[in-house]
Structure 1
Amino acid sequence: MTRHDSQSDGDRFATIAVGAAKTGSQPHRDGTNDVVPPIHLSTTFEWASGEDANEHDYSRESNPTRAALEEQLARLEGGEHALAFASGMAATSATMLSLVPPGGHVVSSNSIYSGTEKLLTEHVAGHLGADIDFVDARDPDNVAAAVDADTDLIWAETPSNPLIRLCDIRAIADVADDHDAPFGVDSTFASPYYQSPLELGADVVVHSTTKYLNGHSDSIGGAVITDDDGIFEQLAFAQQVGLGNVLSPFDCYLVARGIKTLPARMERHEENAMAVARFLERHDRVARVRYPGLASHPQHELANEQMSGYSGMLSFEFDGTLIELEAFVEGLEVFTPGASLGGVESLVEVPSLMLPDEFSRSEESAAVPETLVRVSVGLEGADDLREDLRTALP
């Protein structure tokens, strides 16, 4: 069950999610009164001057379908500006490459997506010569100790991939404010429905729209939302000119369609995830379950404070050998072994077996246990999910 502060908060979010594209400009209302904004595939638009000037000229710089989605994303996160990118990594890359100059300084949580870690170590540090400090951001004091007057960006994932660690967004935001450093949060695992980093003091929120926002495993995309006009201008230049990593009109349509059912999907994801987490916690072949909704999670109280729900992502450590773990994965019928997350179908991923390149991390990053299983709990019947696990576990 959702834990929004009040029923009206959840209702208001649902109303925004369904009708957020109905904004002042209403580009889908020009003469046709479409209920669903159409897909504008045109790469260019007829030029006009004066009062007849177009809002859109060339689709890399501005497209009506993308503009409608970006306004929708901004409203969902309570931000002033949003930008839609070709992937989650494109959104993350644009943020870091725009805000961190050559020779700059980044303080990052040491529990982040492996692709983000490689971006920091191999590109931001390796090619731009920036200094990267990875810290255990579960303790805000560790962040404060690493930040100085020259820090260009503070970065955190919460909940993190795949260790499901949380960072205190408000406390880290206070550290960022003290040093006048922008603070970016990857909030993909929570979705805008269960966490609002901008309200807690973050300057930038990043999502892989591939995941919960789209929700149907049929669109790759990313988004950045911010309240800061200066940051928005830098990122807009990167999106439209510097990198050109814009989300296609058809993918914008798919994400906008997915967002309409986000509240209902997230509540079902959470309900199922709680059922799965409780089942796993009682199983004798499971050494540890990592899910913020469980009282056993070391940051359960922080989750209650800064999240309005626990989402659908969890991980657990299998108590056995890799051979036994592989047999467990092969024995699943309802859960599908595969990468990605946040779709309607339940997925399991074993980083050490399925993604060895991503499993290997730098010494500064938090270690991922060899027998860790990441679970994206979908919308199937909870009884079927538990029975699938019960049958496959040795």
Structure 2
Amino acid sequence: MTDRRNRPLSPATRLAQALKYVDERTGALVPPIQPTATYARDADYGKRRDFIYRRDGNETVELAEAIIADLEEAEACLLFASGMSACHAIIDALGTGDHVVVPEVMYHGVLAEFRRASALGRLEVSHYRAADLDDLRAQMRPGETTLVWVETPNNPDWDVTDIAAAAAIAHEAGARLVTDCTATPPCATRALEHGADISFHSATKYLGGHSDVTAGALSVRETGAFWQALAERRMLHGTVLHSFDAWLLIRGMRTLPLRYARQSESAMKIARHFDGHPGVARVLYPGLPAHPGHEIAKRQTGGQFGGMLSLVIRGGERAAIDVARGCALFYPATSLGGVESLIEHRKTVSGEGFRVDPALLRLSVGIEEADDLIADLEQALARVTG
């Protein structure tokens, strides 16, 4: 007879119980916040644990990292004070003159960092069309390219890149593959299983889920010299995640599968409703069967396509801004993955120099009733487009 007590636990169960955390001294089920900035050594002047100073991390951060590593099936995870600080650590750890390949369309902050490194002569940067594996392959320099960056689905067009195929292309050329799957967190997409070397997430978004923390996570299949370089930069730059933010992140992750399932379901309902709508030129959402990356997204997410979609509004940029302004339930705010729904005119936020349709509105669908959100968008569209 199978001992049911030893059966493997699902990721949702492990998340809900924060890896079955129990305080050994008190029996408390909620992890504590460790705020100390420094640690006393023992009587022999040895380290009591791995921590000696706040920039090394602490127990609260360590637990949050362990939860993410478990969810990603990673060897290790590092948490940073923001998604951008995590991305900057990767860029900073690359060697001077290294060749990297990144998408033409991706999160504008990270793209700006690569452009800055290129302008300073730190890196050679080539660009490929997101989701176009032939173009990715054409940009590679075997033996010279050191890093390939994949964002999937990419922000804000939601094109889908086959991670396994991209990993094969990168590895064949001797490069590492970094994936940004922030829009499809590891309860849906575990990029390391598909061959990625480093999985990046802006933990500010779905992992935290409550718009009250900024954080970035880097998880790896294997630790090594590059991993140590990332940890060293985090320590020297002082960009480790703060204790209270780590505690908020742990709290948020315990409900991640529930939130994400609800957001995916509602986003699908909204996408279907506005697909073919007279006021909407295009709906960009991988969950729609007509989306070019639908089958890849289905395979990589297990059919949970996420809460992010974009609407291209008929009437151009002014009409799109007016629709965003006319919404009563959607907050006109930047970010994604929280429990409240957000609407953003992407061109206004990303500014000039980033390729985005001027009539594109990016939606982050929260956990509200989907029919209420649809009615809100309908009334805003009716005011603008008639």
1:145 aligned partner: 138
Q: Does 1:369 align with 2:364?
A: no
- Is this contact kept in 1: 2:330–2:343, CA < 8 A? yes
2:351 to 335, 341, 359: 359
- 1:324 Cα deviation after fit: 2.6
Deviation at 1:111, TM superposition (A): 1.8
C-alpha distance after superposition, 1:133-158 (max 9, x if no partner): 01014122222221121111100100
Paired amino acid for 1:382: A
How far off is 1:301 after superposition? 1.1
Which structure 1 segments of 5+ residues have no match?
A: 1-8
Aligned to 2:13: 15
CA distance in 1, matches of 2:53, 2:214: 22
- How far residue 251 of structure 1 moved from its aligned partner, in angstroms, is 0.2
**TM-superposed deviation, 1:53:** 2.6
Say whether residues 1:155 and 2:149 are aligned partners: yes
* Number of the residue aligned with 2:168: 174
Shift of 1:56: 2.2
Q: Identify the residue that residue 85 of structure 1 maps to in structure 2.
A: 80
Q: 1:310 to 1:121 in 2, by over 3 A?
A: same
Query: Which of the residues 185, 188, 197 maps onto 1:203?
Result: 197
> Secondary structure at 2:217's aligned position in 1?
strand
Question: For 1:59 and 1:45, how far apart are their aligned partners in 2?
Answer: 8
- The count of residues paired between Structure 1 and Structure 2 equals 372
Q: Percent identity?
A: 37
Return the alpha-carbon distance in structure 1 between the equivalents of residues 275 and 9 of structure 2: 33
The whole-number CA distance in structure 2 between the counterparts of 1:51 and 1:326 is 60
| Superposition deviation, residue 11 in structure 1 | 6.9
SS at match of 2:10: helix
CA contact (8 A) 1:169 1:200 kept: yes
Which one of the candidate residues 275, 289, 292 is aligned to 2:269?
275
CA distance in 2, matches of 1:374, 1:201: 29
Deviation per CA, 1:183-223, whole angstroms, max 9, x where unpaired? 10011000111101100000001111110000000011111
- 2: CA distance, partners of 1:158 / 1:131: 22
Match of 1:350 in 2: 345
C-alpha displacement of 1:310: 0.1
- Runs of at least 5 residues in structure 2 that lack an aligned partner in the other structure: 1-6
User: Residue 126 and residue 261 in structure 1: after superposition, are their counterparts in 2 closer, same or farther (change >3 A)?
Assistant: same
Query: Which amino acid in structure 1 is aligned with residue 17 of structure 2?
Result: G
Match of 2:177 in 1: 183
Change (3 A) 1:38 1:153: same
Q: Is 1:96 matched with 2:84?
A: no
Greater Cα offset, 329-338 or 246-255: 329-338
One-letter amino acid of the structure 1 residue matched with residue 373 of structure 2: L
The answer on 1:386 being equivalent to 2:374 is yes
- Residue 76 in structure 1 maps to residue 68 in structure 2: no
TM-score by length of structure 1 reads 0.91
**Distance in 1 separating the partners of 2:334 and 2:59:** 32
Matches of residues 218-233 of structure 1 in structure 2 within 5 Å?
218-230=212-224, 231-233=226-228
Q: Structure 1 residue 254 and structure 2 residue 248: aligned?
A: yes
Matched, 1:316 2:311: yes
| Residue 33 (structure 1) shift | 2.0
Partner secondary structure for residue 198 of structure 1: helix
| TM-score of the aligned structures, taking structure 2 as reference length | 0.92
How far is 1:10 from its partner? 12
Is this contact kept in 2: 1:13–1:76, CA < 8 A?
yes
Q: Is 2:333–2:344's contact at 8 Å kept on the other side of the alignment? A: yes
8 Å CA contact 2:130–2:159 kept in 1: the answer is no
2:325 maps to amino acid: E
Q: Per-residue deviation at 1:321? A: 3.5
Q: Would you say 1:125 and 2:123 are equivalent positions?
A: no
RMSD (CA atoms): 1.8
TM-superposed deviation, 1:34: 1.8
Does the C-alpha gap of structure 1 residues 295 and 359 become closer, same or farther in structure 2, counting only changes over 3 Å?
farther
Q: In the alignment, is the contact (CA less than 8 A) between 1:85 and 1:223 conserved in 2? A: yes
Could you tell me how far 1:128 is from its partner in structure 2? 4.2
Matching residue's letter, 1:284: P
CA deviation profile, 1:261-281 (whole Å, cap 9, x unmatched):
000000000011011111111
User: Structure 1 residues 10, 171: CA separation in 2 closer, same or farther (over 3 Å shift)?
Assistant: farther
SS of the residue aligned with 2:258? helix
